[in-house]
Structure 1
Amino acid sequence: MHFDRELDVKGLNCPLPILRTKKALAEMSAGEVLHVLATDPGAVKDFEAFARQTGNELLSRTETGKSFEFFIRRK
């Protein structure tokens, strides 16, 4: 999937992945896509809730072993 910016938050635990994602999205333009790499097991629920609460679109999420990948479109 095409993305405009990548954010690696592997090794960080809640709430840091969400806080860094929020900061990265704030620096992006509407419609741009952020690719996030995380390892926090709570990230799936956290990113789903974050997307609902902020209006940003969670385009996809995948899990590979203990690693998670998210694509989020800025509103």
Structure 2
Amino acid sequence: MKTLDLRGLKCPLPVLKTRKVLAGLAPGECIEIACTDPLSAIDVPNLVRETGDILERQDRAGEALLFLIRKAGA
């Protein structure tokens, strides 16, 4: 599983960087993302809906928002 540390980045950078990494994943691969921008709680789930991928988990750890996204099959 790949991880992406986007803590400290402000909108729209977390979503743009997540979109770029998702585009390079093979179907079934997962990525875990950590963000501190509060808008990521809205933006990341919206991105996943747009791309058709799967938001496996959305959690909070201190100030960080954590997302686990699975790349959908072709």
Compute the TM-score of the two structures, normalised by the length of structure 1. Answer: 0.90
SS at match of 1:29: coil
Q: Which amino acid letter does the alignment assign opposite residue 20 of structure 2?
A: K
Aligned to 1:45: 42
Secondary structure of the 1:44 match is helix
Deviation at 1:34, TM superposition (A): 0.5
1:20 aligns with 2:17: yes
Q: How far did residue 65 of structure 1 move?
A: 2.4
Paired AA for residue 19 in structure 1: L
Number of aligned residue pairs: 72
Tell me which residue corresponds to 2:26: 29
1:68 aligns with 2:42: no
Q: Runs of 4 or more off by more than 2 Å in structure 1?
A: none
Query: Percent identity of the aligned residues?
Result: 38
Task: Note the aligned Cα RMSD (angstroms).
Answer: 0.8
Structure 1: 5+ residue stretches without partners: none
- SS of residue matched to 2:38: coil
Q: Which residue type is aligned with residue 60 of structure 1? A: R
